[in-house]
Amino acid sequence: MTQTIDFRTDPSRYRHWRVEYEGPVATLWMDVDEDGGLFDGYQLKLNSYDLGVDIELNDVVQRMRFEHPEVKVVVMKSAKDRVFCAGANIRMLGGAAHSHKVNFCKFTNETRNAYEAAEAESGQKYVAAVKGACAGGGYELALACNHIMLTDDSTSSVALPEVPLLAVLPGTGGLTRVTDKRMVRRDRADVFCSTEEGVKGKRAVQWKLVDEAVPNARFDEVVAARAVEFAAASDKPDVARGIVLGPIERTVSDDGSVTYGLVEVTVDRAARRAEVLIKGPEGDAPADVDTLVAEGDQSYILRLARELEDAILHLRLNEMGAGLWVIRSQGDPEAVLAHEALILDNRDHWLCNEIRHYWKRVLKRVDVTSRSLVALVEHGSCFAGVLAELLWAVDRSYMMEDEFEGDNRLLATITLSEGNFGAYPMGNDLTRLQTRFYGSDDATGLRDQIGEALDAEEADDAGLVTEILDDIDWEDEIRIFLEERVSFSPDAMTGMEANLRFAGPETMETRIFGRLTAWQNWIFNRPNAVGEDGALQRYGTGVRGDFNMERV
């Protein structure tokens, strides 16, 4: 699996999903093309999915929020007979590299989180209408919906059979959502996750695995009525029409570097490093929200989010050897603040709301990326407001102090905005500043500095950067750090960074990306799952896996 994976798509290119719109209700049909796998060597039978299926779903969810804000209820259905979804394709998993399996699970987690949060963030409630078998990742698709309806018949069931069948875990948050979201009793969850055939009908309701079971003869009728009922009860404001998300234009070089309009990614494979340069706005911020709507996907604040997200996903899946990302910026910080201020000052406007939450999702992708991350606050940089969030998402940050010989750019500064105090929370439900200063009083008074361009000494005193360096030390200290970081074991770095990035309370989201993902990562390396005689390799042969029964 060495081909370049492109996360850009649009409805005209979908092979696995289709959407029907009827006023405030949208019906999302899963109709996976068996021969439409992202790679060769497997068929996507029974609505099983691979990364390509999920790339389309991610696009559906994004367009639902920006292009169809009139939608208040999304009903997820299967277009196949007698099956809702069989989950992640086992042949794909069996043949995939370990790194692809792990990144596949991470991306599917992020996609589930996006539509799971759509009701609270955008007033779009997702309803799973389950007919037929709904197993593994298929049930995880349903679990992320806000309401699950199951056909009460002899063939429809929900199941998480990964442990008994494959010797792996549900990879998309299933274990966590069963207990933390569905509130299934722990012992019943144990039974459920150890049972291949799953649970049907009224028992599934009794165990809280679904919200309601409806007789087959009335299922479609009740689903339609429930969608209308939920839409009528929604307090989401009516919006006549959304904006169009056009294609993200970019140029990819043979060396993996990518050039966008506002983002430049330079890949140095020999140095095992990628540099991400973010450019500030060239024009003034829109005068009002009507102008913002008119600019649509070309508004600076939205265009930058889309390009940065695509760059993150490109580097994650296509440049896994680049273990260190260096994040830089150049531009006018006051202009960045002006563009951000428009969306913060008009949070009740649907588009401003969507852009703010989009930035929250993009920044969360940074938080959970398994790369060493460093930010360089250089002269001429524009780490202000929402872009300053990147300084506290990374593992370390270095800032230029005082003038540098031959450098005519404006001195490096960092500027806080109101957005840094709650607009873009992390997965632990804290801001990045709260996480940075967790358990201490070091953040006291930072609100008083909103809007002030803090120079290196002031930023250092406030605890906003790791270290400040002058002209004499900058080049050598940065070089030493970059060389040292890529010399460490990438496994040790991934573990260390993932542990240090999330201080404070544990949430369903941090459990999914931390505890569950860490165990799955380990299990994906174990011979009981992926060895020649492991369950994942023997699946479908009629022969069970041959396990090493030692508990580790």
Equal CATH topology for 13-233 and 252-487: yes
415, containing H or E segment: strand 414-415
pLDDT for 146 = 97
For the domain 252-487, what is the CATH code?
A: 3.90.226.10
Antiparallel, parallel or unpaired: β 212-215 and 83-85: unpaired
Query: How far is 261 from 240, CA to CA, in rounded Å?
Result: 30
In order, the DSSP letters of 323-376 are -EEEEEEES-HHHHHHHHHHHHHTTTSHHHHHHHHHHHHHHHHHHT-SSEEEEE
Query: How far is 431 from 340, CA to CA, in rounded Å?
Result: 17
- H-helix segments, 117-171: 118-122, 137-143, 162-166
Q: How far apart, in Å, are the Cα atoms of 106 and each of 188, 198, 296?
A: 27, 25, 29
Query: How far is 470 from 400, CA to CA, in rounded Å?
Result: 6
484: which residues sit within 8 A by CB, 6+ positions away?
none
Q: What are phi and psi of 108, to 5 degrees?
A: -65, -35
Query: How far is 309 from 322, CA to CA, in rounded Å?
Result: 17
Q: Is 16 in contact with 49 (CB distance < 8 Å)?
A: yes
468: which residues sit within 8 A by CB, 6+ positions away?
398, 399, 400, 401, 456, 457, 459, 460
Q: Which two tokens stand for residue 412?
A: 């490096």
The residue with tokens 């060239």 is 282
Query: How far is 54 from 387, CA to CA, in rounded Å?
Result: 28
Antiparallel, parallel or unpaired: β 157-159 and 414-415: unpaired
160: which residues sit within 8 A by CB, 6+ positions away?
135, 136, 139, 140, 170, 174, 175, 178, 192, 193, 198
Query: Domain ranges in the chain?
Result: 13-233, 252-487
pLDDT for 515 = 81
Q: How far apart, in Å, are the Cα atoms of 50 and each of 35, 320, 370, 409, 462?
A: 12, 19, 21, 47, 46
**DSSP reduced 3-state for 7:** coil
Query: How far is 212 from 206, CA to CA, in rounded Å?
Result: 9
**DSSP reduced 3-state for 187:** helix
Range 13-233 classified under CATH 3.40.640.10: no
Per-residue pLDDT of the chain (552 residues; tens, 9 = 90+): 468 999 999 999 999 999 999 999 999 999 999 999 999 999 999 999 999 999 999 999 999 999 999 999 999 999 999 999 999 999 999 999 999 999 999 999 999 999 999 999 999 999 999 999 999 999 999 999 999 999 999 999 999 999 999 999 998 899 999 999 999 999 999 999 999 999 999 999 999 999 999 999 999 999 999 999 999 999 999 998 999 999 999 999 999 999 999 999 999 999 999 999 999 999 999 999 999 999 999 999 999 999 999 999 999 999 999 999 999 999 999 999 999 999 999 999 999 999 999 999 999 999 999 999 999 999 999 999 999 999 999 999 999 999 999 999 999 999 999 999 999 999 999 999 999 999 887 777 899 999 999 999 999 999 999 999 999 999 999 999 999 999 999 999 999 999 999 999 999 999 999 887 888 888 998 999 999 999 988 988 889 899 999 988
